[in-house]
Structure 1
Amino acid sequence: MKSMKLNVITKIMLLMLIPTIVWSEEAIDFNTDFLDGEGTENIDFSKFSHANYVPPGDYSLDLEVNNTKIIAEQPVIFFNPNYDKKVSLACITPEIYPLLGLKEEWENKIQWLKDGQCLDIRSIPEMSFQGDLAKNTLKIKIPQAYMEYQDASWDPPTRWDDGILGAFLDYNATGRLVKEQKGNGKGTQTGITATGTMGANIGPWRFRADWQSQNGELNKRSQSWAWNQLYAYRAIRSLSARLTLGEQYLSSTLFDSFRYLGVSLETDESMFPPRLQGYAPEIAGVAKTNATVIVKQDGRIIYQTEVSPGPFRIQDVNSFGGGTMDVTIQEQDGSVTSYKVETSKLGTLTRPGQLIYQFVLGKPTKDEHNTQGPEFSLGSLSWGATNNTTIYGGLLASSEYQNVAIGFGRDFAPFGVLSGNINISRAQMGNIDNNRTLSGNSYNITYSKQFDEINSQITFAGYRFSERNYMSMPQFIDRRYNGDTIDSGKELYTIIFGTALPDYNTNLYLNYSHQTYWNRPSSNQYNMTVSNYFDIGKMKNVSLSLTAYRTKSRETTDDGVYVNLNIPLENNDSSISYSGSYSRGTHSNNVNYFSRIDNRQSYNISAGTWDKDKLTTSGMYTYEGDATQLNASGTYIQDEQSALSMQIKGGMTITPEGGALHRNNSVSGGSRILIDTNGIITVTT
């Protein structure tokens, strides 16, 4: 008898599994005469004639929406709805519903069953379920027109999570030691520069403190520790916006950056799909030796890295606001080169009908975090008027200073993207300037174009003209409240251009800027590189590059040429190269060897001549460990100096689930993932 009951149950289960792979709602009739055993007359087999029927009960299933898995092993209840006891439905609870990714408008249209516990799929036309027990999956089909924007590398806000409770410390520290061997400067000098972010995540709120520290003789004997920003923020998902409270730097495409204490609500483009996010600045230069590149904005360090001798291009700087970035190249031979890079963003187009906005209330602050100047308010909007035209503008206003901006951006396909804006400032100078009111205008035009037919691209081209009495908000504060003499910009030309000549295996790159002033000499900076790839017998992908550069500012003037010949060896895991650098007052020639030890370690060593007749050697070692990233380098110049430098970059994260030391490959203070490996310590990513 027992075996007979098992036989009946087995056959019933087979009947249950057959319909779960069918999408049609048409009924299917089964011949139950082959079922033998007692009790079959008490079983209602008509339910199993409906496609997709799953017996009522509790299940743990993966959820798929339009063939995309959205969550694994989700508890799901199947039930018979009161309007048709012969069908079974999956209970989509109010907690599961946001994961479906439906547009916000459906929240007011949908209906619920079982006293608001389960979604009534009849209220969403053409929505359907399929319970696939064989694959342990609930497959949900929803018309694409009802869904939020979908992207393979991005989830809509309804599927986002606030994350877990945790605290962290990210750091990026560089230490330098220089031993002079000639002149009155004999002796040893040291310097340490460190930046980072510490913070905590509590529910939807993120608390952040950005810090920096500099000390030592190489940093002008300064012993400073500074908190750059102290603030808390949270995402407002329904608005694709960020609400921020505290002390922070203004980030605006229309107005220059300055620090203030207050509150802001602004569109957060990081909530957009990656392909819809905007322009980032690029920095180019040439290092004569192993060097440290430091990028500052409004006095705070926003980026630092170690580079090898030769041309470099930095494309991952996270600009915290419009204005100008100060770039410093600290060479291991003790020389320092400084120049400025314009970071005004290209007038990116906004999607038709969409508004990108920013609203700020606050009061400017100075170095000691005390407020300075009048309270201000700021509002700006960018509106996608048509498919190819964007109109934008803004107002920054206080009792003593006002600045209004209006502009446009248009895609003149196939001729490129052009944008332009005008800023009008008005400043009451008080006793510092005989109570005068100074007014001025600033005009800005930018252009971008991809020339597919010649494999070329103008990434950024811009022109700005400012009248003598035009002032930005930070310039007004420095002049009115600190009595500083400000650099009054007049004209600025900027262009970044690249082209490829595939028939000749040649690439050309140009980065140029020219700034004139009303009250001091002009500054120039350009970097042009031509590179060619070719084969010599069995040696493949040999490269030859020539870089010409100029950096001219009030502090320094440097012109030079850099040439490099690189020959790959051993499956591109190593190479040998020649490099020559020729600039004002210094000439160097070096032979270099590079080798990759494994996926985490590499090194290079070089030897040659410096300043025509002095011998020099240098080397660099790079290690990317689980807990930190390390760059160590050294340089020796005969009868001149020897220098050592080390950069350590990493972070520490602590949560109730555990903690870890880790690398810091992303923006300092950014998101991180904590994975429970159930005690296994050999898991790597």
Structure 2
Amino acid sequence: MPQRHHQGHKRTPKQLALIIKRCLPMVLTGSGMLCTTANAEEYYFDPIMLETTKSGMQTTDLSRFSKKYAQLPGTYQVDIWLNKKKVSQKKITFTANAEQLLQPQFTVEQLRELGIKVDEIPALAEKDDDSVINSLEQIIPGTAAEFDFNHQRLNLSIPQIALYRDARGYVSPSRWDDGIPTLFTNYSFTGSDNRYRQGNRSQRQYLNMQNGANFGPWRLRNYSTWTRNDQASSWNTISSYLQRDIKALKSQLLLGESATSGSIFSSYTFTGVQLASDDNMLPNSQRGFAPTVRGIANSSAIVTIRQNGYVIYQSNVPAGAFEINDLYPSSNSGDLEVTIEESDGTQRRFIQPYSSLPMMQRPGHLKYSATAGRYRADANSDSKEPEFAEATAIYGLNNTFTLYGGLLGSEDYYALGIGIGGTLGALGALSMDINRLTPNSITSTLFMAINGVRSTSKISRKPTPISLLATIAIPTMAILVLMKPIPAIGTITVAKKVKFNSTSARQYLMG
């Protein structure tokens, strides 16, 4: 019989990996095929039993398969789990690191799709979207990546502070509905008919109407009243305006008759145009002022925040730095007690002092208004109605300070105001502003809310705040007001008014 010569048949690495996977259980039950390490934790199988050439020499290096989780580099279709939540499924390229373990490669665009704050991380912001990142751990400290090859699952752990996060209660503007076209009116009517013994008679009627029409994003509103008595009747239009949302700016555009906000300067009515931010377009958790809480979790942890003994926030965060910026404002003062409970049950606590003032804004939030038109005098007033322009802005610089200012100008009048408000930690809050009204008048105001004064009353043993308000109008007068709340009684107010080149006056109030 002719002899058959067997030549070495070369197999691809993926075929060899499959053979190992299928044959390893059988090999482990055999004798003489198993070697263990000194600590009996890793197993080693000699791959020479699978592939040799005619001369008995091994042609393919299979050493990487002797290590746990080691696989061939390449592109795999994987499920991506970010901080224990499945976020997407896509093809990811893997390379081998120094330990022959697979590590993922991401483009900057892929990191952006995962919700990473690419534009806020300097090492990523300077790169193009197509740039490849080989080691995410070196760019974002605290990041960890693990590839579960058997389940084709990529587990990513990224610190919460490096991720974009929707505030609680957030609804995407794409889901906002303008509503259906409609016409409506709200009204109230009162009337009286008085008859007297002398035979006299008097009649009075009053009608109050608030009318409106909605069509697409536009809102037409009218507020009018009608009065009638024995002598005459009159119809008065208090305001009429056309308004719509500007979703991209989270603002309202108004055309017609309305009033300014009064956030920096005194409020007044006008006829004209106004563009102003609208806090109603923000989630409830972003309205008003509340501090941003930052910390570091050593593992997957639960963060709990209490104020005045009540839990106002609780959330799970991954290992690494975290930032909580969507607290609901519950009061203007009251320390925040932050508890970090690690996965092993250990707890760490710290206190963040908290107090605020009405004008304070969250870090990075801008509240503004821009108005131009003609001043509207009161109905029974003969005052001039000059044209004017006004702009105001309030901006949260950080957790501590809010900057605000405004400019108002007309034909023969102008005003410029600028100020800053901030917290004093455990002491309370402070605001200072300067307003220049016409060339010869300057007003400076200081407001201080002192929360940490350890004064007590017989009724309540808890600390009560003291508020100090000082206003100086140059060159006319100065006013100093001191307010002290007394629980269950009221507020004691002491005011001192000083007119320059004149006598001073004092006033004491309780109520």
Normalised by the size of structure 2, how large is the TM-score? Answer: 0.47
Structure having greater relative contact order (Cα 8 Å, sep ≥ 6): 1
Pair member with larger Rg = 2
Normalised by the size of structure 1, how large is the TM-score? Answer: 0.38
Question: Which structure shows the higher strand fraction?
Answer: 1
